[in-house]
Amino acid sequence: MTKTYTISSERLTLKAINDIIFNDRKIKLSDQVISNIKKSKTYLDAKLSESDKPFYGINTGFGSLYDVKISKRDLTKLQENLVMSHACGTGDKVPEVIVKIMLLLKIKSLSFGHSGVQLSTVNRLIDFFNNDIFPFVYTQGSLGASGDLAPLAHLSLPLIGKGKVTYRKRLVNTTTVLKKFNWKPIKLEAKEGLALLNGTQFMTAYGVYCLLLSHKTSYLADIVASISLDAYDGRIDPFNDLVHLIRPHAGQLKVARRFTEFLKDSELIHRKKEHVQDPYSFRCIPQVHGATKDTIDFVEKTMITEINSVTDNPNIFPDEDEIISAGNFHGQPLALAFDYLKIAMAEIGNISERRIFQLISGQRGLPAFLVDNPGLNSGFMIPQYTAASIVSANKQLATPASIDSIVSSNGQEDHVSMGANAATQAYNLIRNVERIIAIELFNASQAMVFRKPYKSSTFIELFLKAYRKEIPFIKSDEILHDDIEKTIQFLKKYNITDFELFLNDYGIKADLLETE
């Protein structure tokens, strides 16, 4: 039986979201959350009935139309018009897993009782989540400032019976799904459209998914780099704890100790070396990979704060008798965090490509381009080209999005974060890093064969044995695209939970989402 997760006042963590999404948990609201939502709605209704005072977006127009008063009889139409008019997204389809996270995070934000929405509206979002009904959302359209207006408008259209959804892997009209479940469209009341559209759930959903990818990818980078180190006949000295205790950055220490564990019983790493030092791409792995890990931890703290916050506008405070129009929807904290994450993950790909280059360069007793009879065979010459091309693309993607701003809404919204662009760039960049690391594994596994009869560690040998079941040693030139793609899939096939179990099977105790 599927375990149900209760949305309460407790903080959502990255580990909890990973569990909810990838173990197909259903969700429900706690009694306290239900009370908070009802209290906020009751307060708002009373405030509107007893006063004609203008409240932004509740009984006024939006953006630069903030001073246009709307009559009480048109408040529902105002909110429905808002949702429809803001559904201006374009571009690619947002992956379903990210849409599912968007639903979860929107429900969490509304659960605090500062948004003035109907309980039925939140429950319908829960219905969508629990039945894997995913609104069709586009990647382009958000400035990351007045909330993720366009993406959240597309997320909200099915609530009023409009737009399209994906259900059971098929794209259908929302009306088809509503009819199937005998649901009627939600009749939005005062402020609800604004509460749904003002928010950062597009950015934060991408942020959550990018963090899950980053945690796994950075761990895989350590595994693959340890294989490369052994295949290159590298030295273990730079990973000695003594070195890192006198410069004790947390990520640096973690990486160095991880390499020591991965390679503890390797014949190759402990044999006598003819060289005194390795190139930086090997010798400085703890410093480079470690700095990225510290960045991931920083970004995670930012995202966790955001997903446990109220990011719509105006904010309703029943106990204080206040309705305040402010700017919690502005994505600047997220935009900066995404740009930092992009740079950090790009560096993982950057240093990986340098190790690929070293492995094919004909040094340390390895054949040029890792193939017998080089010249007749080009071997692994061109996979390095591919990696270099992807690294260059990542440098372009890593250019900060947050340094840009374009005025919108007739000057009322005159500074925007562009955090949504940073979010989609981060997603594409991290996927690129997965491909670079796969090419490094492809190269390193090939190089290891030339080290026989020496063996690597028990863990590495078992890891390579699992890899070799799917990707063979290359004896002479063939179409390498197929092997690269198989390697990418080999690294992608496990979610974080399954990957931890995979590692445990090989004697490595790992908690990829551990908090410091």
Q: In the chain, where are the structural domains located?
A: 4-199, 206-505
Structure tokens at 275: 């060289």
Would you place residue 254 in the very low, low, confident or very high pLDDT band (cuts 50, 70, 90)? very high
Highest CATH level, class, for 206-505: mainly alpha
User: Is the Cβ–Cβ distance between 405 and 420 less than 8 Å?
Assistant: no
pLDDT of residue 257: 97
Please report which helix (H) or strand (E) contains residue 457, including its range.
none
| % of the chain exceeding 70 in pLDDT | 98
Over 70: is that where the pLDDT of 404 sits?
yes
* Annotation says 56 is catalytic: yes
CA distances from 502 to 54, 353, 495 (A): 58, 26, 10
Distance between first and last Cα of the chain: 33
d(CA 29, CA 284): 48
Would you place residue 60 in the very low, low, confident or very high pLDDT band (cuts 50, 70, 90)? confident
Please report which helix (H) or strand (E) contains residue 403, including its range.
none
Question: Reduced to 3 states, what is the DSSP secondary structure of residue 56?
Answer: coil
Span 477-496, average pLDDT? 94
pLDDT of residue 147: 87
| Catalytic, out of 5, 43, 56, 467 | 56
Closest to 23 measured CA to CA, from 90, 126, 97, 83? 97
| % of the chain exceeding 90 in pLDDT | 84
| 4-199 CATH | 1.10.275.10
pLDDT of residue 1: 47
Span 276-290, average pLDDT? 97
pLDDT of residue 75: 77
Q: Give the model confidence (pLDDT) of 63-120 as tens digits.
A: 666 677 777 777 788 889 989 999 999 999 999 999 999 999 999 999 999 999 999 9
Catalogue the E-assigned strands of 106-236: 133-135, 138-140, 164-167, 170-173
Closest to 41 measured CA to CA, from 159, 120, 126? 120
